[in-house]
Amino acid sequence: MALTAPVFRGGWRYSLGMRIAHSIVLVSVLVSQLAAAEVLPPAQYLTALDEYTHLERIDSQSERSVRDYLVPLGAIEKIRGVWAPRRSERLSGTLDGYTWRVLDGYTAEEMVAELDGRLALNEAASRSFSCDARACGSSVQWANRIFQQRLLYGTEVSQRYRVYSIDLEGDSYRLLVYGSARSSDRQYLHVEALRIAP
């Protein structure tokens, strides 16, 4: 396909070349805020995202004490009549959570992919679980039951979910990443950082 082949997205016409340039800008901005190939705590990812001009924070919580907090490690499905993750773990500790609206033609999928790339450079991080689209299960259950954020409800083909384990200087964390979209201009990213109690 030629680089000038038009793609219709969000009410504007983008060439493939423009989409590539768009992605390069996203990568360069976040790379400038996060050092490559270093051991980074989850808070630095949240801070970098919060300072990114194409994300608008619409909800947050900091240092919330949680007990037996549910961390899904599998798709959401109905088990014996109850919606639940196929696999999960329950952890206690301190939780930070942010929800952003993705702006200016960027997508939640791009944001999750960029975080995947940055976390792959973090020597202290390992991916515990990931799913894309319908493999994640019911989007409405992720939004309402898991994250208790109605606005995260989107199309099932748009959803992306990741769980990372991070062990750093004697502390253990779980980083939960969820992206979804209802439409081209209603794209959302939700990230939670759980510091596990010793």
Nearest to 141 by CA among 149, 133, 131, 132: 149
In this prediction the pTM is 0.81
- Asked if the structure places residue 190 within a domain, the reply is yes
pLDDT for res 80: 87
Placement of tokens 């109850």 in the chain: 82
- Asked if the structure places residue 26 within a domain, the reply is no
- Asked if the structure places residue 34 within a domain, the reply is no
- Asked if the structure places residue 165 within a domain, the reply is yes
Q: What is the mean pLDDT of each run of 10 residues along the chain (198 residues)?
A: 34 44 49 56 88 92 95 94 94 96 94 93 94 96 94 94 94 97 93 96
- Asked if the structure places residue 1 within a domain, the reply is no
Q: Which residues contact 68 (CB under 8 A, 6 or more apart)?
A: 90, 91, 92
- Could you tell me where the beta strands, DSSP code E, fall in 24-147? 55-72, 76-79, 82-85, 88-102, 125-132
- Asked if the structure places residue 15 within a domain, the reply is no
- Asked if the structure places residue 92 within a domain, the reply is yes
Number of domains in the chain: 1
pLDDT for res 108: 95
Task: Count CB neighbours of 35 within 10 A.
Answer: 13
Nearest to 112 by CA among 29, 166, 49, 170: 49
Residue 23 corresponds to which tokens in the numbers above?
A: 């992605």
pLDDT for res 43: 85
- Asked if the structure places residue 17 within a domain, the reply is no
